């Protein structure tokens, strides 16, 4: 039985190796441990091993873990699809929303973010694979959405997220991630101070780091296979 802290160390070693391999500074790439479907006790075990940032895809499940583990002072990122009737729970409970793709949801989050908390950090999810079923703003609509979100008082626009179509080809993976980096560079040239490129998961984090990821979102390689998405 391989323990969670051992698997965490193995993923951190993969990140460090990729930073070296692709000329990134050591510590450039942050690990988000995607704990969706796994119990609070598993998160607590990883927190004890030093992991601070966790990602959740389902509002109710995430809010319950956040409440249970409040004393640990962890950072919680929402990475799932968000309906308008759940924005208040997310604005009150989470530190980040990485999956924002509609202005109406952004406006609600900004209105509902409690004054006692710092602004909610957000990333815009971009649909770079062209799959109509996937979430994310189309690249052509990204600049308008980014400028509108950046103007909301209780949100802080940090960067972009993408979920490319899965595939084993390393160069193909790099091409997808490069598209996201180029979109980010264009927004930065346009005056938006972005510091986050959220790309790369268990199967493709090396390609993402090669193309400039600052945050990789890893579930399976730490926790094991999930029974649901």
Q: How far is the CB of 108 from ligand PLP (least distance, A)?
A: 20
CB of 210 to ligand PLP, least distance (A): 17
Cα angle 160-5-28, degrees, rounded to a multiple of 5: 35
Which residue's CB is nearer to ligand PLP, number 93 or number 164?
164
Query: Under the rule (CB under 6 A), what is the footprint of ligand PLP?
Result: 34, 36, 57, 79, 163, 201-203, 217-221
Of the pair 189, 229, the CB lying nearest ligand PLP is at 229
Residue 128 or 154: which CB sits closer to ligand PLP?
Answer: 128
**Which one, 89 or 203, has the nearer CB to ligand PLP?**
203
CB of residue 18 to ligand PLP, shortest distance in Å: 15
Across the chain, the runs of DSSP E, i.e. the strands, are 30-34, 53-56, 75-78, 96-100, 120-126, 155-162, 196-198, 215-218
Min separation Cβ 151 and ligand PLP, Å: 26
- Closest-by-Cβ residue to ligand PLP is 219
**Tokens, residue 16:** 């460090």
3-state helix, strand, coil in the chain (%, to 5): 45, 20, 40
Residue number with CB closer to ligand PLP (193 or 224): 224
- Closest CB to ligand PLP among residues 154, 160: 160
C-beta contacts of 139-148 below 8 A and 24+ residues apart: 139/179, 139/183, 142/183, 142/187, 143/186, 143/187, 143/190, 145/101, 145/102, 145/103, 146/187, 146/192, 147/190, 147/192, 148/103, 148/106
Burial 137-148 (b: 16+ CB within 10 A, else e): bebeebeebbee
* Residue 218 beta carbon to ligand PLP: minimum distance, rounded to whole angstroms: 5
């Amino acid at each position: 039985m391989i323990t969670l802290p051992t698997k965490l160390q193995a993923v951190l070693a993969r990140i460090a190796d990729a930073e070296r391999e692709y000329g990134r500074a050591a510590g450039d790439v942050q690990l988000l441990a995607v704990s969706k479907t796994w119990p609070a006790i598993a998160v607590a075990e990883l927190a004890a091993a030093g992991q601070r940032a966790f990602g959740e895809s389902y509002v109710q499940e995430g809010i319950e873990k956040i409440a249970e583990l409040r004393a640990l002072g962890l950072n919680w990122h929402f990475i799932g699809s968000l309906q308008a009737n759940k924005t208040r729970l997310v604005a009150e409970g989470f530190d980040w929303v990485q999956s924002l793709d509609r202005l109406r949801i952004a406006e609600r989050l900004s209105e509902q973010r409690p004054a006692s908390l710092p602004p909610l950090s957000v990333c815009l999810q971009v649909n770079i694979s062209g799959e109509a079923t996937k979430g994310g703003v189309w690249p052509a609509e990204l600049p308008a959405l980014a400028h509108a979100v950046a103007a909301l008082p209780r949100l802080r626009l940090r960067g972009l997220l993408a979920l490319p179509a899965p595939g084993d080809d390393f160069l193909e993976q790099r091409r997808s991630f490069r598209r996201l980096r180029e979109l980010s560079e264009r927004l930065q040239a346009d005056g938006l101070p972005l510091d986050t490129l959220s790309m790369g998961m268990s199967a493709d984090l090396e390609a993402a780091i090669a193309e400039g990821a600052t945050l990789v979102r890893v579930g399976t390689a730490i926790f094991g296979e999930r029974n649901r998405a």
